[in-house]
């Protein structure tokens, strides 16, 4: 299958690696021509500066991967769908739920698939806990608590022309932690009510967005929850963690990137034999989530060629955006 990548920044290199394993990278596009040319040269592809030129000239594309800044995901996804391509869109799906609806509508009108990258769903302890919850091993879920303690230093923001921008970045919950919020939705369910506070403590001179926040949640199921997040962990990421309390079981997934089953106490049941999982994505001076993009591409190929089931579809991607919107809306009212 023939792929194109729109947006040739840091994460595009991960995408290109697995595209080369499961298909062919036909074209790369970035408004900074040197980025597109560098990626295209490595994989024998064509380089473009503008998405409209790419879509007009590349007539045999099957799938377009969108890895542009968050605020451009909707525009680039819709253009690619309208050109007759399936789309794999990096997280977050968008930074407005209204844009997510437009993306879903474009996919339905085009008769094409819309995939959203949520690779934390493939983390071995996450899959094991999902299975335990679905089988009722934890009983009724009483509460769930998410901890997101990462580091994003001055260089992270100043080396980019969009990070920290309210219009293109959207906020730490979109850029750093939408994977984590997605897991709350996937494992526990949708959210009914939130109370939240966010602030920008040490990045005010270089970022328009928040660098820390606390959130109290009530789920539709009646369960309670919380999110504590920051990008102010000193010098390096501390952990990503999710603790779930059920009537018949308690579990905690932790580690630097939700890669360890740190605690379990489940009635008449034990999670055993977990795979080691992949290391986190390394970007030189900062660290990301567990590197599961290979599983994402396997799912894309299986869905299109073998009528498999999408791991994260447009509706699920939109739910994460809706939850984050609720959090930021409430936080703005609390100021």
Tell me: the pLDDT tens digits for 250-261?
Answer: 999 999 889 999
* 135 part of a folded domain: yes
Contact 195, 136 (CB under 8 A): no
* 273 part of a folded domain: yes
Q: Does one domain contain both 155 and 242? A: yes
* 280 part of a folded domain: yes
Instruction: Say whether pLDDT at 289 is over 90.
Output: no
Percent pLDDT > 90 in the chain is 93
* 307 part of a folded domain: no
Contact 50, 29 (CB under 8 A): yes
Q: Does one domain contain both 156 and 175? A: yes
Instruction: Say whether pLDDT at 48 is over 90.
Output: yes
**pLDDT tens, position by position, 234-274:** 999 999 999 999 999 999 999 988 999 999 999 999 999 99
Query: Could you tell me the sign of the dihedral formed by the alpha carbons of 148, 215, 98, 186, in that order?
Result: positive
* 110 part of a folded domain: yes
Q: What is the mean pLDDT of residues 109-130?
A: 97
**Alpha-carbon distances, residue 155 vs 23, 152, 158, 201, 286 (angstroms):** 34, 8, 5, 16, 10
Q: Does one domain contain both 225 and 105? A: no
pLDDT (0 to 100) of residue 257 = 85
Q: Does one domain contain both 209 and 274? A: yes
**pLDDT tens, position by position, 6-27:** 999 999 999 999 999 999 999 9
Q: What is the mean pLDDT of residues 55-69?
A: 97
Reported confidence tier of residue 334, pLDDT bands at 50, 70, 90: confident
Query: What is the token pair recorded at 197?
Result: 């506070």
Q: What is the mean pLDDT of residues 80-103?
A: 98
Contact 6, 88 (CB under 8 A): no
* 304 part of a folded domain: no
Instruction: Say whether pLDDT at 192 is over 90.
Output: yes
> What angle do helix axes 178-187 and 124-134 make, rounded to 10 degrees?
20
- Give the count of domains, the chain: 2
Q: Does one domain contain both 205 and 326? A: yes
Instruction: Say whether pLDDT at 280 is over 90.
Output: no
* 159 part of a folded domain: yes
Q: Does one domain contain both 321 and 263? A: yes
Q: Does one domain contain both 127 and 113? A: no
Percent pLDDT > 70 in the chain is 97
Distance CA 318, CA 97 (A): 6
pLDDT (0 to 100) of residue 55 = 98
Reported confidence tier of residue 82, pLDDT bands at 50, 70, 90: very high
pLDDT (0 to 100) of residue 256 = 86
* 185 part of a folded domain: yes
**Which CATH number fits the domain that encloses residue 221?**
3.30.360.10
pLDDT (0 to 100) of residue 276 = 81
Q: Does one domain contain both 60 and 137? A: no
**Which CATH number fits the domain that encloses residue 38?**
3.40.50.720
Query: Containing domain of residue 26, as a range?
Result: 2-118
Distance CA 218, CA 222 (A): 6
**Alpha-carbon distances, residue 73 vs 30, 40, 65, 69, 251 (angstroms):** 13, 21, 10, 7, 35
pLDDT (0 to 100) of residue 175 = 97
Q: Does one domain contain both 68 and 179? A: no
The residue among 72, 99, 118 that closes a domain is 118
pLDDT (0 to 100) of residue 179 = 94
Q: What is the DSSP string of 92-136?
A: SS-SSHHHHHHHHHHHHHHT--EEE--GGGGSHHHHHHHHHHHTT
Q: Does one domain contain both 141 and 45? A: no
The residue among 69, 89, 118 that closes a domain is 118
The residue among 118, 137, 159 that closes a domain is 118
Average pLDDT, the chain: 96
Contact 190, 315 (CB under 8 A): no
Q: Does one domain contain both 111 and 155? A: no
pLDDT (0 to 100) of residue 68 = 98
Question: 290, 288, 313, 287: which is closest to 300 by C-alpha?
Answer: 313
Instruction: Say whether pLDDT at 285 is over 70.
Output: no
**Alpha-carbon distances, residue 88 vs 79, 92, 93, 105 (angstroms):** 13, 11, 10, 15
Q: Does one domain contain both 175 and 214? A: yes
Contacts of 285 (CB under 8 A, 6+ apart): 153, 155, 156
Q: In the chain, what is the straight-line distance between the N-terminal and C-terminal CA atoms, in Å?
A: 50
């Amino acid at each position: 299958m023939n792929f194109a990548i729109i947006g040739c920044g840091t994460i595009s290199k991960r995408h290109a690696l697995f595209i080369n394993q499961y298909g062919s990278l036909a074209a790369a596009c970035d408004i900074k021509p040197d980025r597109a040319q560098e990626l295209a040269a490595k994989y024998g592809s064509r380089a473009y500066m503008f998405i409209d030129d790419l879509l007009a000239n590349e007539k045999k594309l099957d799938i377009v991967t969108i890895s542009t800044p968050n605020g451009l995901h909707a525009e680039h996804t819709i253009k690619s769908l309208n050109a007759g391509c399936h789309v794999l869109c990096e997280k977050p799906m968008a930074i407005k739920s209204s844009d997510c609806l437009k993306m879903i509508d474009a996919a339905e009108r085009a008769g094409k698939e819309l995939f959203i990258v949520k690779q934390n769903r493939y983390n071995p302890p996450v899959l094991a806990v999902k299975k335990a919850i679905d089988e009722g091993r934890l009983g009724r879920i009483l509460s769930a608590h998410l901890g997101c303690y990462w580091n994003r230093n001055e260089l992270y923001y100043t080396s980019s022309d969009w990070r920290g921008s309210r219009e293109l970045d959207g906020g730490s919950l979109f850029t750093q932690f939408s994977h984590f919020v997605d897991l709350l939705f996937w494992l526990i369910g949708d959210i009914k009510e939130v109370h939240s506070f966010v602030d920008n403590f040490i990045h005010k001179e270089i970022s328009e967005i928040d660098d820390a926040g606390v959130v109290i949640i009530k789920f539709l199921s009646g369960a309670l929850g919380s999110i504590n997040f920051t990008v102010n962990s000193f010098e390096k990421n501390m952990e990503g963690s999710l603790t779930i309390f059920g009537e018949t079981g308690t579990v905690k997934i932790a580690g630097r990137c939700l890669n360890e089953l740190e605690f379990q106490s489940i009635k008449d049941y034990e999670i055993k034999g977990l795979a080691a999982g992949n290391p986190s994505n390394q970007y030189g001076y900062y660290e990301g989530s567990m590197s599961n993009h290979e599983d994402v591409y396997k799912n894309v190929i299986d869905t299109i060629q073998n009528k498999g089931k999408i791991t994260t579809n447009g509706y699920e991607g939109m739910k994460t955006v809706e939850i984050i919107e609720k959090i930021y809306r409430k936080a703005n009212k609390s100021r």
